[in-house]
Structure 1
Amino acid sequence: MKPTLLILAAGMASRYGSMKQIDGFGPNNETIIDYSIYDAIKAGFGKVVFIIKEEFLDNFKAIFEPKLQGKIETEYVFQNFDLQQFGIAEEIYREKPWGTAHAMLSGRKVIKEPFCIINADDFYGYDAFKKMVDFLTNEVNDSQYAIVGYQIGKTLSDFGSVSRGVCQVDEAGNITEINERTKIYKKDDAIVYEEDDKEYPLAFETPVSMNFWGFTPAVFKVTEEQFVKFAEANKDKPKAEFFIPLIGEYLVKNNIANFKNIPTANQWFGVTYKEDKPIVQASIDQLIKDGAYPANLWS
């Protein structure tokens, strides 16, 4: 059975200012998602599942169904604020969605095979998809998961801070610790993250999670259990977010699963801020000139 690609596309994109998930970056208005799916099909994925808000459904279908029909199976699932589906009766006020791990749970009813989850607004490159397919086909099991680890120095924006899951890796290539750093940025010739108003350095090669994770469906049960606890503990914190690295950290610390670090030296690029768009467009143009992608992706 071919693995599934699960795409996080329900975010509010508050710093970007518009729906960057369906913004055009390629020469024929291709979205970043288009390039991810193109690479995923080439690598050997068999299905793509979009995690979106329900009100986005018509837009997404109009954009992607004509391109993908006959090329890969598609499904759409919705991230919403309904907590009763998790057995939580109390209404909890939220200023923003619950975060990436909560979003991942939206796929639990339609994914029965090994899968990987990615961000809609990150350009990962074919190398990452091919390495992940190989892992999901040959190595993954309920106690052996993986992430694609990018070098932090190749994942930053020139226009503001970013959030990254900073990883520590042992000699066997497994992740021993994942710490979500929500404010990482360049400072002069250095890279730092900020926590409690203090700055701490990060080496250029430090592996970070760009939310490119490989799992089996067994992860859903653990994630749901942890989300219920997280929601209860953070019911008075309307901005608290339940990140996938929190699940990774829990699984590792409790010896439930190992995470293999799948390293890539590829240059990541993505759109956190509106000012990132011209850089992404130029990067895609260069990849087309280098022959990595056709000028018209789906022709």
Structure 2
Amino acid sequence: MATEQNNLTLVVLAGGLGSRFGGNKQITPLPKLERTIMELSIEDAFNAGIKQVVLIINKSVRAELEQVILPRLPNAMKVTLVEQSTDMLPTEFKHLAEHRTKPWGTGHALLCAKPHVKGPAVVITADDYYGPNAYKQMVEHFNQFQDASCMAMVAFPIEKTLSEQGGVNRGICEVEQCSLKRVTESLNIHQTEHGLVGEIEGKLHQLESQSLASMTFWGVTPILMAKLENGFEKFLEDYDSDVKKEYYLPNCIQACIESKHVSVRVYSAIDFWFGVTFKEELTSVAGKIYEHRQG
């Protein structure tokens, strides 16, 4: 029997400080659309059948979210706000929070959602726009696969994630028989007269335009949540004198794949991906999202 779609939770990682953007981009409305990327993503998820969302936020955006953004979300969407703070640590590591200014990373952000997520979850970032089809693909995945060891990701052909502002860094997915094997970081990916190239471990490599890039669109299960908790404690032990290191979600997922605790089924995205890093991109990205949503 298929899993009820309403068992799925959307988790939006919105706790970053937006230092390169120069402000809280999670709550910056897109020109012409007059809504944030996060709102559009929540609406797409809702239309795909996901009826509950957990927003992982930083304290500074809470008032604006509650007063301006939450009233614009679909009425039937159950919303839970969770503040990701630097002192959300196991008791024996609380002292590390005194010297920490930025959040502990995406792995810690998802861990903050753990008490509010009872089943599988779709995990996205607040400032990435993935298009409506990604959510439909994820709902179909969890309807088809009931096993908690079978996770998923929607990955985007690199050509659908390039920027007019210059080279981009992407995690290139190595896929075998529809399953993720690993994600390899490729830097400064850009078009040349000979096609796409990117730098991997200091060397320039030719890349296929259809190669899949990980853009933080994961379908996770309670198995990962348990592993995140153990992994975070180990991370804190290993780096207890380095308070700038971050605990990254993909690293934990990779460890789970290698230890065979989970497999991650990879789906190729149908829509384009759009993201905003710098304020200067806002108008251009907004225009493209507007066109896609009209289409």
Q: Judge same fold: TM > 0.5, yes or no.
A: yes
Which one of 138, 142, 145 corresponds to residue 136 of structure 1? 142
* Matched residue, 2:119: 113
User: What is the alpha-carbon distance in structure 2 between the residues aligned to residue 159 and residue 87 of structure 1?
Assistant: 44
Shift in Å, 1:224: 1.2
**Counterpart contact for 2:87–2:94, Cα < 8 Å:** no
**Counterpart contact for 1:50–1:75, Cα < 8 Å:** yes
Cα distance change of structure 1 residues 69 and 129 upon mapping to structure 2, 3 Å threshold: closer
- Which deviates further from its counterpart, 135-144 or 157-166? 157-166
* Matched residue, 2:11: 6
Cα distance change of structure 1 residues 264 and 245 upon mapping to structure 2, 3 Å threshold: same
Paired residue type of 2:192: D
User: What is the alpha-carbon distance in structure 1 between the residues aligned to residue 21 and residue 130 of structure 2?
Assistant: 19
**1:208 equivalenced with 2:213 (yes/no):** yes
Q: Report sequence identity in percent.
A: 32
* Matched residue, 1:280: 285
Cα distance change of structure 1 residues 89 and 72 upon mapping to structure 2, 3 Å threshold: closer
Paired residue type of 2:283: P
CA deviations on 1:180-236 (whole Å, 9 max, x unpaired) are 45x343253444444665444432211121111001222111011111212222334
Which one of 56, 81, 86 corresponds to residue 86 of structure 2? 81
* Matched residue, 1:53: 58
- Which deviates further from its counterpart, 258-267 or 88-97? 88-97
RMSD, aligned α-carbons: 2.2
Which one of 128, 136, 141 corresponds to residue 122 of structure 1? 128
**Alignment of structure 1 residues 149-160 onto 2, 5 Å:** 149-160=155-166
* Matched residue, 2:257: 252
* Matched residue, 1:297: none
User: What is the alpha-carbon distance in structure 2 between the residues aligned to residue 196 and residue 265 of structure 1?
Assistant: 30
Provide the aligned length of Structure 1 versus Structure 2: 288
Paired residue type of 1:127: N
User: What is the alpha-carbon distance in structure 1 between the residues aligned to residue 78 and residue 242 of structure 2?
Assistant: 38
* Matched residue, 2:46: 41
Cα distance change of structure 1 residues 184 and 233 upon mapping to structure 2, 3 Å threshold: farther
User: What is the alpha-carbon distance in structure 2 between the residues aligned to residue 94 and residue 195 of structure 1?
Assistant: 31
Cα distance change of structure 1 residues 131 and 97 upon mapping to structure 2, 3 Å threshold: same
* Structure 2, unaligned runs of 5 or more: none
Higher helix proportion (structure 1 or 2): 2
User: What is the alpha-carbon distance in structure 2 between the residues aligned to residue 192 and residue 246 of structure 1?
Assistant: 24
Normalised by the length of structure 2, the TM-score is 0.89
User: What is the alpha-carbon distance in structure 1 between the residues aligned to residue 278 and residue 46 of structure 2?
Assistant: 28
User: What is the alpha-carbon distance in structure 1 between the residues aligned to residue 207 and residue 216 of structure 2?
Assistant: 19
* Matched residue, 1:268: 273
Which one of 215, 218, 227 corresponds to residue 222 of structure 1? 227
Cα distance change of structure 1 residues 94 and 212 upon mapping to structure 2, 3 Å threshold: same
Shift in Å, 1:140: 4.3
| Secondary structure of 1:141 counterpart | coil
Shift in Å, 1:76: 0.5
* Structure 1, unaligned runs of 5 or more: 291-299
CA deviations on 1:78-125 (whole Å, 9 max, x unpaired) are 211115436424426335322111111110011102111001111101
**1:174 equivalenced with 2:159 (yes/no):** no
**Counterpart contact for 1:147–1:262, Cα < 8 Å:** yes
Shift in Å, 1:56: 1.8
Cα distance change of structure 1 residues 79 and 184 upon mapping to structure 2, 3 Å threshold: farther
Cα distance change of structure 1 residues 237 and 162 upon mapping to structure 2, 3 Å threshold: farther
**Counterpart contact for 2:86–2:102, Cα < 8 Å:** no
Cα distance change of structure 1 residues 246 and 40 upon mapping to structure 2, 3 Å threshold: same
- Which deviates further from its counterpart, 184-193 or 35-44? 184-193
Shift in Å, 1:150: 0.6
User: What is the alpha-carbon distance in structure 1 between the residues aligned to residue 206 and residue 92 of structure 2?
Assistant: 42
**Counterpart contact for 1:140–1:216, Cα < 8 Å:** no
* Matched residue, 1:186: 190
Shift in Å, 1:26: 5.1
- Which deviates further from its counterpart, 67-76 or 108-117? 67-76
Normalised by the length of structure 1, the TM-score is 0.88
